[in-house]
Amino acid sequence: MTQGTRLPWERSTRMSNHTYRVTEVVGTSPDGVDQAVRNAITRASQTLRRLDWFEVTQVRGQIEDGQVAHWQVGLKLGFRLEESD
């Protein structure tokens, strides 16, 4: 990360009053890392609300006949907890 670059949860000071929960998921795809990330986020967004950021924590793959057959990408997903009344 370059100096002065902010992480997604550090975008602005107005976010300082929010509370986030972090969960870990693994996305998979035979088509590459990018698609594995997208698959994980798409699926997680079906049950988690207020997804705000992700961090790739692991990249691994399956090899068949000397070729990459499948990608697995571990992600941390951050989602904002709902405000209490």
Decide which of 3.40.50.720, 3.10.180.10, 1.25.40.10, 3.30.1660.10 is the CATH code for 11-80: 3.30.1660.10
- In which region does residue 56 sit, left (phi positive, over 0), alpha (psi from -120 to 50) or beta (all else)? beta
Give 1 or 24, the one with higher predicted confidence. Answer: 24
Structure tokens at 47: 């049950």
Residues 54, 22: Cα–Cα separation, whole Å? 9
So where are the chain's domains?
Answer: 11-80
pTM for this entry: 0.75
pLDDT tens digit string along 33-56?
999 999 999 999 999 999 999 999
Matching residue, tokens 């070729």: 67
Phi, psi at 51, each rounded to 5° = -60, 135
- At residue 16 the predicted structure's pLDDT band, cuts being 50, 70 and 90, is low
